[in-house]
Amino acid sequence: MAESVDIQALIDGDRRVLGQAITEVENDSPAGREALDALFVYSGRSHLVGVTGSPGAGKSSLVNQLALRFRSLPSEERVKVAIVAVDPSSPFTGGAILGDRVRMRDLSGDSGVFIRSMASRGTLGGLSRKTSAVVQVLDAAGYGLIIIETVGAGQSEVDIARLAHTTLVVEAPGMGDDIQAIKAGILEIADILVVNKADHPMADMTMRALRANLDLAQPQQFSVVERLHHRNMAFEPVAIPDLKNDVDSMEFWTPPIFKTVSTKGEGIDPVVEAIRNHSAFLKRNGQWHQREAARLQEELNDLLFTAFATQWRRSIDETLVAAVVKALMERKISPYQALDQLMGKNQR
Amino acid sequence: MERKIRVLIAKPGLDGHDRGAKLIARALRDAGMEVIYTGLRQTPQMIAEAALQEDVDIVGLSILSGAHMGLVPRLMDSMRELDLQDVYIFLGGIIPDEDVPALLEMGVKAVYGPGTSTEQVVSDVRNLVLGEDKV
């Protein structure tokens, strides 16, 4: 612990150093922060692909199959593949069972694949707070494709879309009626939709519901700044000029829907092709840079919020906090009054 | 700064009974540890490779097949090849008493038979990793 990370060894492909560096970053140790600073210039080259969907939809099996296919591409197109698989931490003990590797045994023995399991460590939203930093380390280590598998997600665990260039939403058959399909949230973030377990009798119904929803959608592209305005930002989002402003010639991406049976490896090739097409699409339209710009600003924003809270906690008089909280518990003051008192505003 | 104990629970060899492995995994989880569970029929190379990628502090093996005297030395070799000799190994399952000294000699830190309490395993793992005292 706490020795500094050998950056050169990591860049040169030392997998032991990579594994240890990720631990330091995940624990937010001084060595981890130092490594992130040094590695930042080497990052920004990987295609980040998110895979999300409800628990048991078959995300891990699909990720296993995708990684296998990407690794069997012709050598001039083949890149190293990293997988970051997030599972939930217990809200009571902080412990976790990380079981995604169980479905990924086909990938062992390939030194061009690196799989890392992460616990969510109290973060909601489907990722852990450190996922983006861990991805940055893998990016710098030369993994050209990084697949990020989220916690089994419900309706609003949409953080993955902020991190990834390409987001796959995996549905299992029988997920609900067509109203589920038009709700805001997880389906909205899909660049690619996959109905897994397609050998199930309900699969075609699910395909129909999803397709009907896509037909309702207006093709559009949201600019970076627009997206950030729906978040609580500590600073005014900085727009980067659109690389393409000519609306007439603007291309739109309509999310394709695929059927797969990942345990049998069926229907995987079209998904791989769609992932590659999406990457080309983003690059052609300047969207790649837009997404990166939005991600970096959001990351800075998150760091600012954490830093503000830490700084405030260091500066505040603990006895005042205790007194205010006590008054709140006794319902003598409201939460907003407590806030005012703690922030040093005049009592109302 | 958070220091989480990371444990790999693996089942090498061909026996398909993973109740014990899951029980231990669950107990370690409830003790606040992060447990990477790899599933059945892992080769020693697969286990060592997973330990490297996951950067675990300790590896727990469950072996009920009687093949421990063959599997454990191969795992130790695989771990050394990947420069993982500092990662602790413990073993649970059906292990005859007379094999235990040889296993400890090979570098296994603890051997647990049927009837071991999960509290015992949890506290040993914690002590080993945090270096508070020896088992």
What is the pLDDT at residue A348?
A: 43
Q: Which of A146, A17, A250 is nearest to B83 (CA)?
A: A17
B54 with A102: Cβ contact below 8 A: no
Reduced to 3 states, what is the DSSP secondary structure of residue A75?
coil
A98 with B35: Cβ contact below 8 A: yes
Rounded Cα–Cα distance for residues B108 and B96 (Å): 15
Which residues lie across from B89 on neighbouring strands? Answer: B59
Using the predicted structure, report yes or no on whether residue A58 has a pLDDT greater than 70: yes
- A325-329, A342-346, B5-9, range with the lowest pLDDT: A342-346
How much of chain B exceeds pLDDT 70, in percent?
Answer: 96
What is the pLDDT at residue A183?
A: 60
Count of C-beta atoms within a 10 Å radius of residue A47: 22
Best to test chain A binding among B42, B49, B59 (most A CBs inside 10 Å): B49
- Print burial letters for B125-135: b (CB count within 10 Å at least 16), e (below 16): bbebbeeeeee
Best to test chain B binding among A16, A26, A29, A98 (most B CBs inside 10 Å): A98
Question: Which pair of structure tokens corresponds to residue A173?
Answer: 């058959």
Using the predicted structure, report yes or no on whether residue A185 has a pLDDT greater than 70: no
What is the pLDDT at residue A221?
A: 56
Using the predicted structure, report yes or no on whether residue B89 has a pLDDT greater than 90: yes
User: Which residues lie closer than 8 Å to A342 by C-beta, 6 or more apart?
Assistant: A316, A320, A321, A324
Provide the pLDDT confidence category of residue B56 given band limits of 50, 70 and 90: very high
Using the predicted structure, report yes or no on whether residue A335 has a pLDDT greater than 50: yes
- A77-86, A172-181, A240-249, B92-101, range with the lowest pLDDT: A240-249
A108 with B2: Cβ contact below 8 A: no
Reduced to 3 states, what is the DSSP secondary structure of residue A21?
helix
What is the pLDDT at residue B134?
A: 45
What is the pLDDT at residue A73?
A: 95
A23 touches chain B (CB under 8 A): yes
A97 with B54: Cβ contact below 8 A: no
What is the pLDDT at residue A222?
A: 55
Best to test chain A binding among B26, B35, B36 (most A CBs inside 10 Å): B36
Contact between A119 and B4 under an 8 Å Cβ cutoff? The reply is yes
Q: How would DSSP label each residue in A184-247?
A: SSGGGG-SEEEE--TTSTTHHHHHHHHHHHHHHSPP----HHHHHTTS--SSPPPPPPPS---G
What is the pLDDT at residue A153?
A: 73
Provide the pLDDT confidence category of residue B46 given band limits of 50, 70 and 90: very high
Mean of all residue pLDDT scores within chain A: 87
Length of chain B: 135
What is the pLDDT at residue A347?
A: 46
Contact between A198 and A225 under an 8 Å Cβ cutoff? The reply is no
Q: What is the mean pLDDT of residues A198-210?
A: 86
Q: What is the mean pLDDT of residues A289-296?
A: 86
Residue A267: left if φ>0, alpha if ψ -120 to 50, beta else—which one? left
Provide the pLDDT confidence category of residue A325 given band limits of 50, 70 and 90: very high
Using the predicted structure, report yes or no on whether residue A226 has a pLDDT greater than 90: no
Q: What single-letter DSSP state applies at residue A261?
A: B
Q: What is the mean pLDDT of residues B61-90?
A: 94
Using the predicted structure, report yes or no on whether residue A99 has a pLDDT greater than 70: yes
User: Which residues lie closer than 8 Å to A346 by C-beta, 6 or more apart?
Assistant: A340
Instruction: Name the residue among B32, B37, B82 with its Cβ closest to that of A94.
Output: B32
A117 touches chain B (CB under 8 A): yes
Rounded Cα–Cα distance for residues A105 and B40 (Å): 10
A89 touches chain B (CB under 8 A): yes
List chain B residues with CB under 8 Å of A130. Answer: none
Instruction: Name the residue among B29, B49, B84 with its Cβ closest to that of A97.
Output: B29
A9 touches chain B (CB under 8 A): no
- A9-13, A19-23, A50-54, range with the lowest pLDDT: A50-54
Pick the residue with more confidence: B12 or B16? Answer: B12
Which residues lie across from A76 on neighbouring strands? Answer: none
Using the predicted structure, report yes or no on whether residue A138 has a pLDDT greater than 70: yes
Taking every pair of Cα atoms in chain A, the longest distance, rounded to a whole number of angstroms, is 70
Question: Which pair of structure tokens corresponds to residue A88?
Answer: 């939930």
Phi, psi of B112 (to 5 degrees): -115, 130
Using the predicted structure, report yes or no on whether residue B33 has a pLDDT greater than 60: yes
- State pLDDT tens for residues A245-284: 555 556 788 889 999 999 999 999 999 999 999 999 999 8
Rounded Cα–Cα distance for residues B74 and B72 (Å): 5
Rounded Cα–Cα distance for residues A13 and A332 (Å): 60
Task: Say what the pTM is.
Answer: 0.90
B84 with A89: Cβ contact below 8 A: no
B1 with A27: Cβ contact below 8 A: yes
A97 with B30: Cβ contact below 8 A: no
What is the pLDDT at residue B1?
A: 45
- State pLDDT tens for residues B15-31: 778 888 999 999 999 99
B53 with A19: Cβ contact below 8 A: yes
Q: What is the mean pLDDT of residues A109-115?
A: 94
Q: A15-26 and B44-54 are packed helices; what angle lies between their axes, rounded to 10 degrees? A: 40
Residue with tokens 């080497």, as numbered in its chain: A42
Using the predicted structure, report yes or no on whether residue B38 has a pLDDT greater than 70: yes
Q: What is the mean pLDDT of residues A155-180?
A: 78
List chain A residues with CB under 8 Å of B35. Answer: 95-98
What is the pLDDT at residue B10?
A: 94
What is the pLDDT at residue B135?
A: 46
Mean of all residue pLDDT scores within chain B: 91
How much of chain A exceeds pLDDT 70, in percent?
Answer: 87
Provide the pLDDT confidence category of residue A127 given band limits of 50, 70 and 90: confident
Pick the residue with more confidence: B8 or A226? Answer: B8
What is the pLDDT at residue B125?
A: 95
Q: What is the mean pLDDT of residues A8-36?
A: 95
Q: What single-letter DSSP state applies at residue B129?
A: H
What is the pLDDT at residue A247?
A: 53
ipTM of the complex: 0.91
What is the pLDDT at residue A223?
A: 55
Sheet order of strands, A47-53 included? A113-119, A81-87, A145-149, A47-53, A166-171, A192-195, A257-259
What is the pLDDT at residue A250?
A: 65
Residue B14 amino acid letter? L
Rounded Cα–Cα distance for residues A25 and A140 (Å): 13
- A105-114, A221-230, A261-270, range with the lowest pLDDT: A221-230
Q: Which residue of B has its CA nearest to A31?
A: B1
Q: What single-letter DSSP state applies at residue A154?
A: -
- Strands (DSSP E) found in B44-124: 58-63, 88-93, 110-112
Q: How far is A3 from chain B, CA to nearest CA, in Å?
A: 15
